[in-house]
């Protein structure tokens, strides 16, 4: 990190200096953090680009900044961890970059404050290209450890928070990272595997299945469909297709024993909806049970980056 670059957004200084986890300010090459527990440090990074993850001009800079931090907090939630600090690197377009940078920071700071995250520093750049913002979040696992994707067991219930699909209509900017829900789940039951839904339910379930070497059957009638997915059905795809395939729901997808599943439904540890959507089975197939009881293969249709050779 470079002081003179970062000083462009020097109103960060007062916030940085005020956070109790930071023992140094931005006037140094690296931020120094007090780490409460050395056992398990979580680190995650996500880069968002204009034209891919948002469009400058369509979305307010505050919402873009908020999203850049929120997607990282969602990754910490997926591990049932607590977020502690974030660093932010941006490439700002030269034209209007100062104003854009202020808006980004405002959105970042507000969400960081909500979750007790220290904005520990960053790297502010200008260039002739479009806006790029990259956030790295540090967190810690709780005493119960971090939850991986690899722990799903045959017989587990597959469960999900919230309702799915249609995120592009606004949810992908305004979602609340499920930090509190993940910690409450981790506290209430034995989580076997967990992931946040960023690529789409089917695609992210596939990640759990791949890492856990198991299969799954989802109950199509049980998938909780968002109002936005119901509204977008005019595009020819069904609301269920949207709920299964759309990315950026940023809900938690997790597996637990049936006993723990019943317990969660009987005494939900938070107000956010929890739904039992299927079971982990032997084999490696991922199937969808139609209302008539027939099984069809579930194809992961989530977002993937592509290249030309």
Residues 223-262 that bind its own copies (CB under 8 A): none
Report d(CA 204, CA 210) in Å as an integer. Answer: 10
The residue range among 55-63, 153-161, 197-205, 232-240 that interacts with its own copies, by the rule CB under 8 A, is 197-205
* Contacting residue, 63, 149, 171, 289, with its own copies by CB under 8 A: 149
Rule CB under 8 A: say whether 197 interacts with its own copies.
no
Whether residue 107 contacts residue 65, with contact meaning beta carbons closer than 8 Å, is answered with yes
Rule CB under 8 A: say whether 20 interacts with its own copies.
no
Contacts within 8 Å (CB) and 24+ apart, 52-55 = 54/173
Query: Residue 125: beta bridge partners?
Result: 91
Rule CB under 8 A: say whether 31 interacts with its own copies.
yes
* Contacting residue, 47, 56, 222, 285, with its own copies by CB under 8 A: 47
CB-neighbour burial class of residue 291 (10 A; exposed 0-12, middle 13-18, buried 19+): exposed
Considering the complex, state which of residue 141 and residue 274 has its C-beta at the smaller distance from its own copies.
141
Whether residue 107 contacts residue 64, with contact meaning beta carbons closer than 8 Å, is answered with yes
The residue range among 9-17, 94-102, 268-276, 285-293 that interacts with its own copies, by the rule CB under 8 A, is 94-102
* Contacting residue, 106, 150, 238, 272, with its own copies by CB under 8 A: 150
Report d(CA 168, CA 76) in Å as an integer. Answer: 22
Considering the complex, state which of residue 239 and residue 247 has its C-beta at the smaller distance from its own copies.
247
Minimum distance, C-beta of residue 135 to its own copies, in the bound complex (Å): 9
3-class DSSP state for residue 27?
A: coil
Residue 220 in tokens: 């199509």
Angle at 294 between CA 240 and CA 273, to 5 degrees: 40
Per-residue x/- mask for its own copies, residues 50 to 89, rule CB under 8 A? Answer: xxx---------------------xxx-xx-x---x-xxx
* Contacting residue, 13, 15, 24, 215, with its own copies by CB under 8 A: 24
Query: Residue 123: beta bridge partners?
Result: 89
Minimum distance, C-beta of residue 252 to its own copies, in the bound complex (Å): 11
Per-residue x/- mask for its own copies, residues 261 to 290, rule CB under 8 A? Answer: ------------------------------
Considering the complex, state which of residue 165 and residue 200 has its C-beta at the smaller distance from its own copies.
200
Minimum distance, C-beta of residue 293 to its own copies, in the bound complex (Å): 31
Rule CB under 8 A: say whether 35 interacts with its own copies.
yes
Whether residue 119 contacts residue 88, with contact meaning beta carbons closer than 8 Å, is answered with yes
Report d(CA 16, CA 14) in Å as an integer. Answer: 6
Whether residue 77 contacts residue 181, with contact meaning beta carbons closer than 8 Å, is answered with yes
């Amino acid at each position: 990190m470079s002081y003179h670059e970062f000083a462009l957004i020097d109103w960060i200084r007062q916030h940085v200096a005020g956070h109790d986890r930071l023992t140094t300010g931005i006037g140094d090459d690296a931020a120094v953090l007090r780490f409460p527990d050395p056992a398990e440090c979580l680190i995650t990074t996500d880069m968002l680009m204009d034209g891919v993850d948002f469009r400058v001009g369509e979305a307010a800079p505050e919402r873009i900044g908020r999203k850049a931090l929120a997607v990282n907090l969602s990754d910490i939630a997926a591990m049932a961890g607590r977020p502690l600090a974030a660093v932010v690197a941006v490439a700002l377009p030269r034209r209007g970059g100062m104003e854009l940078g202020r808006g980004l920071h405002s959105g970042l700071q507000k969400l960081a404050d909500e979750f007790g995250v220290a904005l520990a520093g960053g790297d502010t750049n200008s260039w002739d290209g479009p806006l790029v913002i990259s956030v790295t979040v540090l967190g810690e696992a709780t005493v119960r450890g971090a939850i991986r994707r690899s722990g799903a067991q045959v017989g587990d219930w597959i469960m999900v928070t919230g309702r799915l699909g249609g995120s592009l209509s606004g949810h992908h900017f305004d979602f609340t990272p499920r930090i509190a829900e993940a910690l409450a789940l981790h506290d209430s039951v034995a989580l076997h595997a967990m992931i946040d839904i960023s690529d789409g339910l089917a695609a992210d379930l596939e990640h759990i299945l791949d890492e856990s070497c198991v299969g799954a059957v989802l109950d199509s009638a049980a998938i909780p469909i968002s109002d936005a997915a119901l509204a977008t059905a005019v595009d020819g795809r069904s609301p269920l297709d949207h709920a299964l395939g759309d990315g950026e729901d940023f809900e938690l997808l997790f597996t637990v024993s049936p006993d723990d599943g019943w317990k969660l439904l009987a005494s939900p540890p938070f107000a956010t909806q929890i739904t039992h959507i299927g079971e982990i089975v032997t084999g490696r197939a991922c199937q969808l049970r139609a209302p008539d009881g027939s099984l069809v293969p579930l194809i992961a249709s989530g977002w993937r980056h592509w290249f030309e050779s």
